[in-house]
Structure 1
Amino acid sequence: MALEDERLRRTKVATVSGGIFGGMRQVKATFFLPLRDNDDRDLSAEISEVEDECFALFGAWTLSGYFKGAWRMDGGERKIETSAAYVLILSDDRLGQLEDVLRRFKAKTTQEAIYLEIQREVDLRLV
């Protein structure tokens, strides 16, 4: 039984290193997409495009939840909005592709910035 378990573990490790994660150094990217634009326009179509692009480029995406936040805009006014938080695991050398996806999203909106957080040294295990 232990030998069978070890073979299964090796298969999973090989899948991670050679599959959608590509065997490169992995990073965890978290980004926030507002549900409505600064002019109160619904952004669900633009968000769907980001999801489609992330799946096409990286093979996965995770919507980790919704939250409400506030910040001061460039003009000084207080802005409160509800956003969707997404998480991706991708190889470090593909971060530019994710940034391009988020820039395209931002270009279709009146957003001043899109939050992107990168966590390096991710220990990812598919068990």
Structure 2
Amino acid sequence: MDAVAALTERTEAAERSIAALAKRTDALEARTTVWTGHFTQETTVQVAVGGTRDIPITWATPAPSTTYSAAAAVSVAAALLGKVTATVKQGSKTKTGCVVTVQNSGLVTLAIGAEVSVIAVG
């Protein structure tokens, strides 16, 4: 093999390596792109003893997919003789939002102001 052919072969191999590295870099960048969503709403929560209430929420910016992780919280002025919890309803995540279920495990029906918050990462 003469010197020109050897150099041509090495150049082509280097170009293939660069192209493969560029593909891997693009794939890595795609995996590290993170979407975050945050939602907070002041509302009046009316939940019977042992009951639940579903609250639909909408993201300000739609998610790229429905595979994001989300956590919900509810803050109430007073939960009488028990507690109030919030969870993201299973199967409710869409690109535009999700449903938060507020549950009253107290001994008194609630009809109070509350702040419902959801944060999501995907």
TM score, norm. by length of structure 2: 0.30
From the CA coordinates, give the structure whose radius of gyration is larger. Answer: 2
More strand by percentage: 2
TM score, norm. by length of structure 1: 0.29
More helix by percentage: 1
